[in-house]
Structure 1
Amino acid sequence: MPIPEAARAALTRLELGVPDAALETLDAYLHRLLEVNQRMNLTAVREHDAAWLRLLVDALTALPGLPGAGADAGELPTGVIDVGSGGGLPGIPLAITRPDLSFTLLEATGKKARFLEETAAALGLANVAVLNARAETAGRDPALRERYGLAVSRAVGPMPVILELTLPLVAVGGRSLCMKGPRAEQELRDSGEALHRLGAGEVAVFDAYPEGFGNDLVVVSVVKASATPKKYPRAPGMPKAEPL
């Protein structure tokens, strides 16, 4: 199917700098996602044109927060980890448009992790690695803990849960970038304890879309100011069962 004009217009208006060459790869990813979604629960969006806007364009609104694209990476690691990647959102669209960065897609469900591996291989994404593990386990692994300059997440859970799952993986000075809905401000007000305990610093909230788009997606950026205490993340299931 052709790339919908509404999606092209949105990308142009958002000025995200997505190269034309990436559009075809993005569409190939979307076709694969929607095809496999018929037998595996990857997304509630099932129609091609709607998925371009609600899945791909939404994911690409995180591009300005990536290292080297309006964010000064400095001496930080440039690797990006997508926590709870699911069907590859936002990680795969970001990896397609930023082949200069390395992306790790962290997914706990085995069949979804296999889909991610097969999709990265089919699309020739040499900058993508897939890790089949829970975030609570990954965050305690010395090979992964505080190794990433940026963690991204979408539809993972309330802010206190997201922070406990992402910040242990982020290097001091790095950031957790959370894609949230209109309740983001309220969730942040409920996250004071989590922010304090996990080593968070500056918090910024910005609308992913300018006024007039009719989309209330919000991006929350949390800087990691100090090392996360070793007791976090807690055991698998605890962050969700008993949020900080």
Structure 2
Amino acid sequence: MKPIDYLIEQSDRYGILYAQKQLDMFEVYADKLLEWNQKMNLTAITDPQEIMVKHFLDSLLLLTVVHLPKGAKLIDVGTGAGFPGMALKIMRPDLRVTLLDSLQKRLTFLQVLADELGIPDIEYLHARAEDAGRNPAHREQYDFAVSRAVANLRELSEYCLPLVRQGGYFISYKGYEMEEEAAQAEKAVEILGGRLEHVEKLELPGDNKRSLLFIKKISQTSSRFPRMPAKIAKNPII
């Protein structure tokens, strides 16, 4: 089975339907990801079928559990090779997407990819999350912040919640067993102006499982946050 056909088959159980143009885009995306991965570290997943599920379908699960309003402003914090932000943009071209990463070479890959796919209107932000969170151009400017970053939720919330407007959401892609981590982050989330509203648990093909944590921004984040990474690591909010 061709990898793209595998994506179609596995997506069907979630009700995710693709236009032919979107399927063509994901095929090019997978090819370019593997091509560029030979010269820079973009992904440890190199099996084409696994890319379709563990990167593309995993990124798109968000669309099955929440309605993103037309034209919503979304920032992907620590986007890496574009997951989930670029995949979401392919499916929802109306979204105003900002891809944030601290490494310019990753953003260069995404810019080249977007040009090849013909995707306009993406902002590429070369910055550390703590710097973006203190920049008035980005602080509390987004309807949604999303992240598949592997950082602990307590620290990740300090990076992401300052970017979200009141009434918006920080959505964290986490592993299936995340209850203890979420409990440890509860106080920090509250101090940062958020509230863990609910968790969606989803199963991907094989043994792959995913939790999506929805943290609503209910009040402004204090100007004390985000702090520098060394301070966050040394003195986490508890």
Question: TM-score under structure 1 normalisation?
Answer: 0.90
Residue identity matched to 1:137:
D
Partner of 2:88: 94
- Equivalent of residue 215 in structure 2, options 216, 222, 240: 222
TM-score with structure 2 length normalisation?
Answer: 0.92
Q: Which residue number in structure 2 is paired with residue 238 of structure 1?
A: 231
Indicate the SS of the match to 1:51: helix
In structure 2, list runs of 5 or more residues that go unmatched. none
> Which residue of the partner structure matches residue 116 of structure 1?
110
SS in 1 for 2:209: coil
1:167 to 161, 164, 167: 161
Q: CA RMSD in A?
A: 2.0
1:36 aligns with 2:36: yes
Aligned AA (1:50): E
What is the DSSP-based 3-state SS (H/G/I as helix, E as strand, rest coil) of the residue aligned with 1:15?
A: coil
Identity of aligned residues (%): 35
Instruction: Please list, as runs of the form range in 1=range in 2, the aligned pairs for 1:1-244 lying within 5 A after superposition.
Output: 2-64=2-64, 65-68=66-69, 78-209=72-203, 214-244=207-237
Cα contact 2:4–2:23 (8 A) shared by 1:
no
Per-residue deviation, residues 53-90 of structure 1 (Å, max 9, x unmatched): 1111111111233513xxxx8xxx82100000011111
Distance apart, 1:6 and its partner CA: 2.8
The one-letter amino acid paired with 1:21 is K
Segments of 5+ residues of structure 1 without an aligned counterpart are none
Deviation of 1:48 after TM superposition, in Å, equals 1.0
Q: Deviation digits for residues 198-233 of structure 1, max 9, x if unmatched?
A: 0012421111337x8632211111110100101110
**Closer/same/farther in 2, CA of residues 240 and 23 from structure 1, 3 Å limit:** farther
Please identify, of 216-225 and 177-186, the stretch whose mean Cα deviation from structure 2 is larger: 177-186
Q: CA deviation at 1:26?
A: 1.3
Equivalent pairs counted in the alignment come to 236
